[in-house]
Structure 1
Amino acid sequence: MRRELRFGVAALRRRPALLLAAWSVPEILPTMGYGLAVAHATDAFLGGRSAAGLGWLGGLVAAAALGAVGAGQVYRRLGDLVEPVRDELVRRVVGGALRRGVTGERTDGAVSRLNRQVEIVRDTYAGLILVIRNFLVTVVAVLSGLLSLAPVIALLVVPPFLLGFAASLGILGKAAHRVEASLAADEQLTTSAGTAFAGVRDITAAGAEDFTAAWVGEPIEAHATAERALAKVAALRMLCFALGGWLPLLLLLALGPWLAGRGVSTGTLLGGLTYVLLGLQPALSTVMSALGDSGLRYVVTLGRILDSGPPPEQPSLAAVPHGHQARLQKVSFAYGAHAEPVLHRLDLVVPEGDHLAVVGPSGIGKSTLAALICGLLPPTQGRIVLGRVPPGQLSTELLARTRVLIPQEAYVFSGTVAENVSYLAPDATAAQLERAISAVAAGALVARLGGLPATIHPAQLSAGERQLIALARAYLSPAPIAVLDEATCHLDPDAERCAEEAFAARPGTLIVIAHRISSALRARRILVLDGTEAALGRHSTLLRMSPLYRELLGHWQQPAQHEDDQIQPAS
């Protein structure tokens, strides 16, 4: 449980958390004011001052309106806290599954963790943040209101309330262990019952009904015991609520005459009761219910995700690339321990400023090579360095600033054109955005969409149009290594030529996974992959030395029947 709590606290980002706290301040005012307003309005009405009483009630309405504004902003800031947690969990699940898959281990449950358990943690995490925030806002507001109203009432109300809340926290650990025991008993019962049902014919034929009943009865009894233990925890939770929620109310009622004898007015006493009934009791009930329900689901589900594999390896933050030369030394890669290697002992040096095209039959490992160079996959054997540093030793920020990969299916998100293009260069000026868009011949598309401020709806863009937006984004990136993994396959030949020439003129290194002969002919060097061997050289050299390259060249020179049907988003 401590591990899951530490994860939740560590996941809180400082700036969004401070903004959330700042926008919680307006909500404190109406919560703090309703007890004061009830107290003063009651005394005013009892004293015949109706206008003053109505004024206090009107002030309460104004404070509620201000609180509503703060509440609206709180929900806007919540996503900034929650979405990074979801992203981190997805990275853990996917990274763990990939590591196990590469080594031939089973990846059972990865899809369930990704589709269901991650969302459970995300939703419960968001709910817990809101509930805890509301609880803290209420406690601070009620305590401030009680101290302003009558400190003696605060002394009667606050200590038992805090004691009940502390007691409810004390039983959470026991509750978590009992929930885990209930889940384990349920899984054991499901397995035993399923086995018995599957072999019912054999059980009947062998006369083993009594043995099977006793065998299945053990997990049934274990599950019943676990559920009874959970019921006891629920009973303890009710006692905690009675201590923190009802005891303050009983104290105020029982000591009402004593308080009145010491100058506490009827309105003040009624205001204190209002704080307890409308503030502390609902807050305590909500936080106890949330921690006992959503909190336990959060702890148990997050524990299963964290247990599914080790966290991603932390890079050495001291590692800094020296230049951006890419070097592969005896690199092999296979998708699984028993799979045939896609790449076998490949040696390759891509100097700074090089323009390399990678060609080969479909499925030969071209995209795998791109992923290896970009640090998305670790080599099964051999070594890869970018700027004399292995990609795994670079921090995420440095790795992102070292290389940019544009895959075949380009990613565009809902947002403005400017937000999409500047995603990898957030400080870019409007002029720089325009130059990047013009360089890759995406100007006509952006103009049709409505310019830089226009909102992009990804589903309304064609595959080629998404590629143009992604190409502009990558062109603007500060990364000196650009890898185009068939990133122009949905463009017409002229648009492809324009984009590749722009990247070739861009400072840095260009690696193109080619799908047309024109891409290879524009490159300075060409790498031919055939599964067991690799040939590297210029076009003229490969024509003489590589039969596979001559075969590919002959295939590419045959006009594709669907060439005229390809999308031409640049026009």
Structure 2
Amino acid sequence: MTAAAVRGAALAALRARPRAVLRLAAWSAAEALPALLTGYATARAVDDGFLAGRPGTGLAWLAWLAVAVVVGAVGSGRAFACLGQIVEPFRDDLARRVVDAALHRATGAGGRPDTSAVARLTHQIEIVRDTLGGLVMAVRGFLFAAAAALLGLVSLAPLVAAIVAGPLLVALALFGAALPAMVQRQREYVRADERLGESASAALAGQRDVVACGAQDAVAGEVGAQITAQEAAERALARMAALRSLILAVGGWLPIGVLLLAAPWLVRRGLSAGAILGALVYVSTGLQPALHTLVQGVAGGGLRFAVTLDRILATARRRPRPYAPRSAAVPRRAPVAVELRDVTFRYGPAARPVLDGFDLVLPDGDHLAVVGPSGAGKSTLAALTAGLLRPQAGTVRLTGVPVAGLEQSTLAALRVLVPQEAYVFTGTLGDNLRYLRGDVDEAELAAAVDALGLRPLVRRFGGLSAPVDPAALSAGERQLIAAVRAYLSPARLAILDEATCHLDAATEARVEAAFAARPGTLIVIAHRISSALRARRVLIVDGSRPVLGTHAELLARSAAYRELLGHWQERPAGHSGTSLTSA
């Protein structure tokens, strides 16, 4: 990422909320009213009031100044209220980017959870939120306060305004020229600090090995080099702080010195004592604090804002577009729906393979039940088929297309996976059901609700437009909602990974029958052995070589299948069947 990207993101946040920015500007103008009047009212109170022997007039001018201060206080309070309308939506947008990017990486083919996303959500985004607020307030405070003070100086004496504006412009030019170097020094300091932490942590974690190998001097030298680098970065950052002090002296203190030195000459040119006092008030209470706020705000919080936002934008890609399976480029339907060739998968380099040289071919329209004991690899097979895991060897194809590297939109158009832990999001019941197919018509939606047995829940909620509280749903209700959502998906391959384990046996049979009648291919990771009796073919995974066949074929060929079936048949009548947990 670049500074231009950070600047563009910040400006986009302002452009996206023009009304809030205009309200902030209006209240900032009210807040700047004391800065506009303080020097002028002071000059008039001195010249027209106290020095002229009219204390009432002087007090009247000061009273007007007090009124301006009250108006400024109100404006300041309202400005902070408007600030939230700018900063909070920007924070929410960043949070969405981080979450979407983390989900994209975790759910992509071969993806893994992004644990650093938690740090970005809980720490870095809050830094950006706070520093953006401070940066906006510092910049707009300087602009309005400096403009008000300069206008006030012009109203007193244009010559004095010119004398004061010169050093101020020089200071702003110096600050603008030094700002890129300040950003770079801040970034180098953060990186040096991170490298030192990593080096020290590695040395401490491997302390026994270091001592055993006699590598103390080498490791100490490596850590010492990182300490030296961190020290150099901190010294460079301190030099930037000294430069900021110089800029403040040029823009804030030099005008006061120039005014004091030029006071006799200004009096000879007809400038009154009140006008000189008012000019000093403008500089000391208006320009100087405004410049100090700008420099310290931008060079302090602004640098933290730039560096932290740069890190967030570098790791959080643009928010993926929502699923649009009907418009996605879906490969032409092939006779073979699923093909796994010589697939090997293990959960670690030294782990026993869950699948080793595994082959599976499913024609389009097939109905497969996968059964086996816990830990045998059933859910692993489902994740490999769905593209959520990537095998160490072999290929996985859906409709002839290799799954590895496919974008999520294409995968979503090819297959739909319903896991054991069904996800229901906050929204309406209809929104949950239409999530994978937003253009479904009411008749087809109603038919799906009836086919899978969701109608009683729809009635209890009061219709599809009723809001859903996921925490108030039972596990079975969540599974049934997720099943209807998947049923409506245009993907021709449906994978039910113990997706009905919280449903009763009758409802499970109804759901599987509906999916079996749906156009396309069905894979059921069985929770109950009864799912095998409903399938056209059965794959038994029992830790050895998986065996594929019809129910009758497996009864003849597989002792493990006969054992599973026998256990189920020996249950008392009415029992829901043997439960087989996921691998």
* TM-score calculated relative to the size of structure 1: 0.73
Between stretches 496-505 and 183-192, larger displacement belongs to: 183-192
Assess if the C-alpha contact under 8 Å between 1:85 and 1:122 holds in 2: no
Corresponding residue of 2:331: 321
- Runs of 5+ unmatched residues, structure 2: 46-59, 155-160, 317-327, 579-583
Aligned to 1:34: 31
- What does residue 387 of structure 2 align with? 375
Query: Which residue of the partner structure matches residue 562 of structure 2?
Result: 550
**Residue-by-residue CA offset, 1:343-376 (whole Å, 9 max, x unaligned):** 2333333333433322233322221121111111
Give the alignment of 1:326-365 within 5 angstroms: 326-335=337-346, 336-365=348-377
The equivalent residue for 1:239 is 242
Matched residue SS, 1:510: strand
Say which SS state the counterpart of residue 356 (structure 2) adopts. strand
Of residues 483-492 and 32-41 in structure 1, the stretch that sits farther from structure 2 once superposed is 32-41
Alignment equivalent of 2:97, drawn from 84, 99, 106: 84
Deviations 1:497-537 (A, max 9, x none): 23223333434332211222332233333333344444444
- Per the alignment, residue 409 of structure 1 pairs with 421
Cα shift at 1:123: 4.0
Query: Which residue in the other structure is 1:173 paired with?
Result: 184
Write the distance in 2 (CA, Å) between the matches of 1:277 and 1:426: 58
The question of 1:497 aligning with 2:509 is answered yes
SS state of the match for residue 496, structure 1? helix
Match of 2:232 in 1: 229
Bigger CA drift: 555-564 or 245-254? 555-564
**CA distance in structure 1 between the partners assigned to 2:11 and 2:553 by the alignment:** 57
Counting only pairs closer than 5 Å after superposition, residues 240-319 of structure 1 correspond to structure 2 as 240-254=243-257, 276=287, 279-290=290-301
Aligned residue pair count: 534
Give the letter for the 1:328 counterpart: E
Conserved 8 A contact 1:189-1:220 = yes
Q: Which runs of 5+ in 1 are unaligned?
A: 100-109, 203-207, 307-317, 567-571
Return the letter of the residue paired with 2:361: V
The alpha carbon displacement at 1:470 in A equals 2.0
Residue 526 in 1 paired to residue 529 in 2? no
Indicate the structure (1 or 2) with the bigger Cα radius of gyration: 2
Q: Return the letter of the residue paired with 2:485.
A: R
Moved more, 357-366 or 402-411: 357-366
Paired residues of 1:143 and 1:158 also in contact (CA < 8 A): no
Task: State the SS of the aligned residue for 1:465.
Answer: helix
- In 2, the alpha carbon distance for the partners of 1:269 and 1:420 equals 66
Contact kept, 8 Å, 2:497 with 2:526, in 1: the verdict is: yes
Contact 1:329 1:348 in 2 (8 A): yes
- Equivalent positions of 1:1-150 (< 5 A) are 19=16, 23-36=20-33, 38-40=35-37, 43=40, 46=44, 67-68=79-80, 70-74=82-86, 75-89=88-102, 113=116, 116=119, 119-127=122-130, 130=133
Q: SS of the counterpart of 1:357?
A: strand
User: What residue identity is the alignment partner of 1:81?
Assistant: L
Q: Is the 8 A contact 2:170 2:250 kept in 1?
A: no
CA distance in 2, matches of 1:351, 1:133: 61
Query: Percent same amino acid among aligned pairs?
Result: 34
Q: Which amino acid aligns with 1:82?
A: A
Deviation at residue 39 of structure 1 after TM alignment: 1.3
**CA–CA separation in structure 2 for the residues paired with 1:398 and 1:187:** 39
| RMSD between superposed Cα atoms in Å | 5.0
The more displaced of 15-24 and 475-484 is 15-24
CA contact 1:328–1:382 (8 Å) conserved in 2: no
Instruction: Give the whole-Å Cα distance in 2 for the aligned partners of 1:172 and 1:136.
Output: 17
Q: Structure 2: which amino acid aligns with 1:321?
A: P
Contact 2:542–2:560 (CA<8 Å) still a contact in 1?
yes
Distance in 2 of aligned mates of 1:193 and 1:530: 44
> Helix, strand or coil: the match of 1:392?
coil
Quote how far apart the aligned CAs of 1:406 are.
0.9
Match of 1:103 in 2: none
CA distance in 2, matches of 1:98, 1:122: 24
- The answer (yes or no) to whether the contact 1:27–1:71 under 8 Å persists in 2 is yes
Deviation at 1:560, TM superposition (A): 7.5
Contact between 1:330 and 1:381, CA under 8 Å: does it hold in 2?
no
Residue type at the aligned position of 2:256: L
Match of 1:461 in 2: 473
Tell me, in whole angstroms, the C-alpha distance in 2 between the residues paired with 1:342 and 1:382: 14
Question: For residues 476 and 495 of structure 2, what CA distance do their matches in structure 1 show?
Answer: 17
TM-score (norm 2): 0.72
Counterpart of 2:331, as a letter, is: P
Given that residues 33 and 145 in structure 1 are in contact (C-alpha distance below 8 angstroms), is that contact kept between their aligned partners in structure 2?
no
Q: Deviations over 1:436-477 (max 9, x none)?
A: 544432343354456545554444433222212322332333
